[in-house]
Amino acid sequence: MSQAPRVRILLSETYNPWFNLATEDWIFRELDPATQTLFLWRNDNTVVIGRNQNPWSECNLTRMEEDKVFLARRTSGGGAVFHDLGNTCFTFLSAKEGYNKTANVTILLDALSRLGVKAQASGRNDLVIPLEDGPRKISGSAYRETKDRAFHHGTFLIHANLSRLANYLTPHPKKLESKGSASVRSRVMNIRDLQPEASHEALVKAMMGAFCDFHGGTAEPQLLEPSFLESQPSLKRTFEHYASWDWRFGNAPRFSHQMVEYLSWGFFEVHVDAENGHVTRAQVFSDALYPDLVQDLQTALTGKPHSRNGMQQAVAEVRARHPSQERELGELETWLMGQVEV
């Protein structure tokens, strides 16, 4: 039996976050951990939320839609982050046996040193640059392990547009109460603030050199494009999962949403409880002169997705029972669809 290659390097040629996150998952589940693997990639215009986060409370979904920003959900925990082409993401896969978390940190610090950047590890997850007014974070990591493999991924801030973070990670003002975890904003800086010549291409070269030197191997990087999905059925299925509404929105924790409005035909106060992106309980209060319609709306909302399509489905069911109130239901439908944002 031939011996597994010592190192493997994969470079993504696409900025699609669903492809890149699916590739990470595929690497973790299916590649041979006996070969030390490095995957380097970038996402553009993307908010990535943690496994247990609620996109409705964590993200400004209306602004994201207007600016054509992707929403992606990763399988690991932690808070929401914004990725643009100023972020370089890295993924390591190693065999669990003999694995030492400091090995990858050594590679990361060596890569930075090759760029002329002196950084240091802070705690278990971060790399920081020490400054007179305190350390500034330039990289964050997360870890995952099974019985036979160890997985480490993170991101470098090279020249990210840090001002855009608040645009999409600040919740849109509304009465939305979430039981999911909220993101913690850290003091961060770009590597380019310290080293103006730093770039994605330079960091990739430095990372590949540090990785190969540490493990004593050589490898030509394999370039991954979207067409690669066609040759890997399991990766294609994983990509479809990461791109799906059910994963990105339906995986949300339990939360409550209150909607209040004066419509031309009455006052409406709608309370919904939702879990996994679907309404589990609805209460509708109104002074409208159609009490049966109000009760039917309350019933119809239960079980629907907490989405524009879900609101539209609920009103369609009510419309079938109250065809003579088409004008009123049209106004109600427009309002409800505008409240849920996606």
- Are 296 and 306 contacting, i.e. CB atoms less than 8 angstroms apart? no
Position 177 scores a pLDDT of: 52
DSSP reduced 3-state for 270? strand
- Extract the residue ranges of the chain whose pLDDT is less than 50: 1, 172-176, 184-185
In angstroms, the CA 146 to CA 143 distance is 11
In angstroms, the CA 302 to CA 260 distance is 18
The C-alpha angle 229, 81, 147, rounded to 5 degrees, equals 60
The C-alpha angle 184, 152, 52, rounded to 5 degrees, equals 40
**Token output for 262:** 């004066």
**Token output for 312:** 């539209």
Tens digits of residue pLDDT in 36-83: 999 999 999 999 988 878 888 788 888 898 999 999 998 877 778 889
Position 184 scores a pLDDT of: 46
Label the pairing between strands 7-12 and 222-224. Answer: parallel
